[in-house]
Structure 1
């Protein structure tokens, strides 16, 4: 009954170069893993940049501004989804609409903080009153928001492309599969 255990293999399933991890990676899989890694790293950077202002406000007994809370939320969501979509067994291209939604969230974050900080110069009177190094940090944070937006845009476009390509493939279920004789 369990003859395959004594031979340590199953009939017809021999280890080949195609079954090893490195040999089974396609250029698309490498691109996806690299993109998800950068999405995760940049999301963690954004969490760190905005969360320190939230912590400072909490220590001073002030309220947490909704803009900063939203930025940390989007960064946390992005980090979580980047980790989940980086898993090898998850076909993340099937969830390209989630990538597009997160891209939209990053557009909103970039719009909020880009409008607030990009027009300011660190030498302005208003900026000097608001701590010039903080303004420079928030200007950099706005550009990082834009980078996150572009990373999620690229993953949404790539996922949509693979999804529509996959829909047109021949399968056994559609009746358009090649016959195996």
Structure 2
């Protein structure tokens, strides 16, 4: 019995040694050895981000229902600005075109009207394309700073557009508001039984350089189109100003919250 117990103990110890020998051996790391660090290819880093940079991802808040409706309304206004600008170019450009056909020098007032309509049309077209351009700009922590830089020159330019529309309305309004051709004033003249005064007023208007009856009627309508354009550009310039104020406040608040953020520059806001 004693010999059997010895043999069993020897067998168990040999089995433990064999099992320990088959297991993988782990060595303690040498603190003096410079182990290679896993690399990350520089081409995989986002633009402007270096290794070790503390990247921050700012989620753009979803647009509210009121914001979406306002954006849709302003898009419609921009489209109307484009259409009415082309209308002004067509109304005044007709006289400029006829002057060139007759080898006459076009009136400077009509040329100014065509220039104003052309500038307004191009500006409205740019504003319709601008949202697609802004989508290509990465939204991040410097989004409000980008808006302040863009919206301020935009507001200044729209104020200039409003001033030239007001000038155009003043020039042609003083010329054609209250002036009627014989076709439009025939009904009123028949009621007052003063056909002779109607013919004399139309002849006087022709002598004063306002043009024939068809031109007078067309210019009277053009004046009110100028007024509609002025109102629309006042609306959009006010909207741009409010957006600039909102973006500037948000940018300043972000600078106050994190002055070390390189995406903001308080001196340029």
Query: Matches of 1:157 and 1:173 in 2, distance apart?
Result: 25
What residue in structure 2 maps to residue 153 of structure 1? 234
What residue in structure 2 maps to residue 103 of structure 1? 162
The one of 161, 165, 176 equivalent to 1:117 is: 176
5+ long unaligned stretches in structure 1: 4-17
5+ long unaligned stretches in structure 2: 1-40, 45-61, 135-146, 183-200, 259-269
What residue in structure 2 maps to residue 63 of structure 1? 105
What residue in structure 1 maps to residue 116 of structure 2? 74
What residue in structure 1 maps to residue 89 of structure 2? 47
User: How many residue pairs were aligned?
Assistant: 159
| 1:122 and 1:128 in contact (8 A); partners too | no
Q: 2:126 matched to 1:84?
A: yes
3-state SS of paired residue (1:63) = coil
| 1:122 and 1:135 in contact (8 A); partners too | yes
Offset, 1:168: 1.0
Q: CA RMSD in A?
A: 2.6
| 1:93 and 1:158 in contact (8 A); partners too | no
Offset, 1:31: 2.0
The higher radius of gyration belongs to 2
| 1:96 and 1:159 in contact (8 A); partners too | yes
Query: Matches of 1:93 and 1:30 in 2, distance apart?
Result: 19
What residue in structure 2 maps to residue 127 of structure 1? 205
Runs of 4+ in 1 over 2 A off after TM superposition: 89-94, 123-130, 170-173
What residue in structure 2 maps to residue 12 of structure 1? none
| 1:32 and 1:86 in contact (8 A); partners too | no
Offset, 1:78: 0.5
Offset, 1:59: 1.1
- What is the TM-score of this pair, normalised by structure 2? 0.54
| 1:170 and 1:176 in contact (8 A); partners too | no
Q: 2:76 matched to 1:34?
A: yes
| 1:46 and 1:144 in contact (8 A); partners too | yes
